[in-house]
């Protein structure tokens, strides 16, 4: 944790010496907190929020939080810290390199872990590769690959498509789900100062491993989210 805080402070301090900061905050409400297709709130609603600081040179840092439910009395909150750098390669291509640190205050096991991610954006497409050498503090590695497509149907509404792939030692060892793909199809837009989205999630998890209630449910679902950024 100290290394993450040190990195965040150092990056922000370095950037702030030459750049003005853009500070934003977001509050969101969703009917289920899904992370790569798997519920982190046992299928219950979640209140989420973030605070971000971005500089003109592409450096950014932030903190994000949500309520969680892992099926016991200890896991109640997730707080993530992240720092990154984003920039344009040309008019059509850009990239984003980031490091995120996931924490679960009060959880009965030390589940904190870090993850490095690289994202490339070309037109309406986004490609992401993420790697953790100690996923969920399991001692096993995990990788995540995804492709996203967002296209404006109108000036206010977009069509959003997503396909992701979770793989690595963690999924083949610690869990019995094994490698799996997660998908989503949705629409998003803005109205009366709010960001709204409706997304249908589904995945390739075998029916024998499907959980449709309780902690870490992974069944198909309709995800509704409303957000406000300040």
Answer whether CATH 2.40.160.40 is correct for domain 2-229.
yes
Average pLDDT score over residue span 207-220:
91
Closest CA to 209 of 184, 179, 167: 179
Q: Taking 60 as the threshold, does the pLDDT of residue 7 lie above it?
A: no
Q: How confident is the model at residue 177 (pLDDT cuts 50, 70, 90)?
A: confident
In this structure, the chain runs to a length of 230
Continuous segment of H or E residues that includes residue 6: helix 2-16
Provide the pLDDT for residue 13.
Answer: 52
Instruction: Tell me how far apart the terminal alpha carbons of the chain are, to the nearest angstrom.
Output: 28
pLDDT higher than 90, residue 229: yes
pLDDT at 20: 80
Where do the structural domains in the chain lie, given as residue ranges? 2-229
pLDDT band at 164 (very low <50, low <70, confident <90, very high): very high
C-alpha torsion sign, points 104, 99, 224, 39? negative
| pLDDT at residue 210 in the model | 87
Mean pLDDT over the full length of the chain: 91
């Amino acid at each position: 944790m100290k290394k993450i805080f040190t990195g965040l402070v150092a990056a922000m301090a370095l950037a702030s010496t030459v750049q003005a900061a853009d500070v934003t905050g977001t509050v969101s409400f969703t009917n289920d907190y899904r992370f790569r297709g798997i519920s982190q709130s046992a299928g219950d609603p979640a209140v989420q929020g973030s605070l971000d600081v971005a500089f003109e040179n592409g450096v950014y840092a932030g903190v994000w939080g949500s309520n969680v439910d892992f099926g016991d009395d200890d896991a109640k909150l997730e707080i993530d810290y992240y720092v990154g750098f984003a920039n344009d390669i040309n008019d059509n291509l850009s990239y984003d390199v980031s490091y995120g640190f996931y924490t679960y205050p009060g959880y009965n096991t030390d589940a904190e872990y870090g993850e490095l991610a690289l994202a490339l954006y070309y037109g309406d497409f986004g490609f992401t590769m993420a790697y953790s050498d100690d996923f969920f503090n399991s001692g096993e590695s995990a990788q995540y690959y995804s492709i996203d497509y967002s296209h404006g149907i109108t000036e206010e509404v977009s069509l959003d498509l997503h396909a992701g792939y979770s793989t690595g030692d963690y999924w083949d060892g610690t869990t019995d789900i094994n490698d799996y793909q997660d998908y989503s199809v949705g629409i998003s837009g803005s109205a009366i100062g709010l960001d709204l989205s409706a997304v249908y999630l589904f995945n390739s998890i075998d029916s024998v491993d499907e959980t449709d209630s309780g902690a870490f449910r992974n069944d198909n679902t309709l995800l509704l989210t409303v957000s406000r950024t300040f």
